Amino acid sequence: MKAMLLEHPGRPLRLADIPRPVPGPGELLLQVKACAVCRTDLHVVDGELPDPSLPLVPGHEIVGVVIEAGPGATRFAPGTRVGVPWLGWTCGTCSFCRSGAENLCAAARFTGYTRHGGYAEYTVADQRYCFALPDSYDDVHAAPLLCAGLISHRAYRMATERAPGDGVTRLGLYGFGAAAHLLAQVAVSEGRSVYAFTRPGDTPAQAHARGLGAVWAGGSDHAPPEPLDAAILFAPVGALVPAALRVVRPGGVVVCAGIHMSDIPAFPYSLLWQERVVRSVANLTREDGEAFLAHAARTPLRVDAVPYRLEDANAALDDLREGRVQGAAVLVPGL
Ligand SMILES: [Zn+2]
Ligand SMILES: [Zn+2]
């Protein structure tokens, strides 16, 4: 099969011909229909995350059709369309797994990082970590739901669940890419006001945000017109942490949603004082995925997706790195 391989972090992926994988016990062989490109893929490819399994097929927002089931894999029949997310396997027995926090399992394996992902014509996945997908999204538009959608939904829950005062009405989103463009719609559908912060001067991204219902959009160097109740940081820029704390009201939370971020500069304690909270969100649980996909089935989301040929994965990564993609880049084998 054709696959885009990461052999040396920091260098481009190489188009390779490798054997089609064979599903083991409990695994499914999937024909990849679409695989979205996530900012985390950039961190993996650029060597910013430690110890990827090399050589590696990246990609963890996979829409695939079951071609063959391994021994004991009866959850999805051949021909079924499923989604494969970042969380690829957990131990099931550690204290985190037993307490509903499998996202923190120290033995967890991650799709497109410590196991092969979807930048290929075929992949295998553990059936227990696959999701059924709503029929209302075609392959290209379902793929971004699998990380941009569901990890941002976990961050959204963290941002909105703890709110002394009148709750979270005004929500800031820093970095208006694939994740924010979906989450903004979820927040607006639940009656919240979205404030979108982009790279300074990125007026197309600001227009994109307003088009999806943001009440305000501006550069991350600008203050919003009123204090925010909470903010979520998708941009991997540590300097945005104090910037967001500065515009969040007492008791508000700033959630860092990315897997990697540049160093956070020192800032005065007064920005954190008054019970403001800074926290990160790591990975996802299967429960997060089910909750988000149920929401996406109930409330149709507009998914802005830009298809690329599988062979053009490096171009897609470059476009994402340079902020040239409006919404999500999606690789489509056979395009
Ligand atoms: Zn575990
Ligand atoms: Zn991702």
The CATH number for 215's domain is 3.40.50.720
CA 107 to ligand 1 center in whole angstroms: 6
Please tell me whether residues 266 and 287 are part of one structural domain. no
CA 98 to ligand 1 center in whole angstroms: 7
CA 119 to ligand 1 center in whole angstroms: 27
CA 139 to ligand 1 center in whole angstroms: 31
Segment 187-213 shows an average pLDDT of 95
Rounded mean pLDDT of the chain?
A: 96
pLDDT at 163 over 80: no
Please tell me whether residues 288 and 276 are part of one structural domain. no
Which of 5-19, 153-167, 210-224 comes out lowest in average pLDDT?
Answer: 153-167
Segment 132-157 shows an average pLDDT of 95
Which residue in 279, 270, 282, 249 sits closest to 168, CA to CA? 249
CA 258 to ligand 2 center in whole angstroms: 9
The neighbouring-strand residues paired with 278 are 254
Confidence of residue 165 (pLDDT cuts 50, 70, 90): confident
Q: So what's the pLDDT on residue 164? A: 80
CA separation, residue 268 to residues 101, 241, 246, 255, 272 (Å): 32, 12, 10, 19, 8
Pairing between strand 170-174 and 131-132? unpaired
Which residues sit with Cβ closer than 5 angstroms to ligand 1, an ion?
A: 90-91, 94, 97, 105
The neighbouring-strand residues paired with 250 are none
Please tell me whether residues 274 and 293 are part of one structural domain. no
> Quick check: 264 and 236 in contact, CB under 8 A?
no
The CATH number for 101's domain is 3.90.180.10
CA 42 to ligand 2 center in whole angstroms: 10
CA 294 to ligand 1 center in whole angstroms: 25
CA 109 to ligand 1 center in whole angstroms: 10
Q: Give SS3 for 7.
A: coil
Domain range for 198 is: 150-280
Please tell me whether residues 210 and 135 are part of one structural domain. no
Segment 267-287 shows an average pLDDT of 96
Q: So what's the pLDDT on residue 161? A: 87
Distance CA(49)–CA(256), nearest Å, equals 16
Confidence of residue 34 (pLDDT cuts 50, 70, 90): very high
| Domains contained in the chain, number | 2
Please tell me whether residues 314 and 233 are part of one structural domain. no
Which residue in 29, 18, 19 sits closest to 68, CA to CA? 29
Please tell me whether residues 41 and 54 are part of one structural domain. yes
Segment 182-195 shows an average pLDDT of 96
What burial letters (b/e) apply to 251-264, b meaning 16+ CB within 10 Å?
ebbbbbbbbebeee
Please tell me whether residues 114 and 157 are part of one structural domain. no
Residue 18 exposed, middle or buried by CB count within 10 Å (0-12, 13-18, 19+): middle
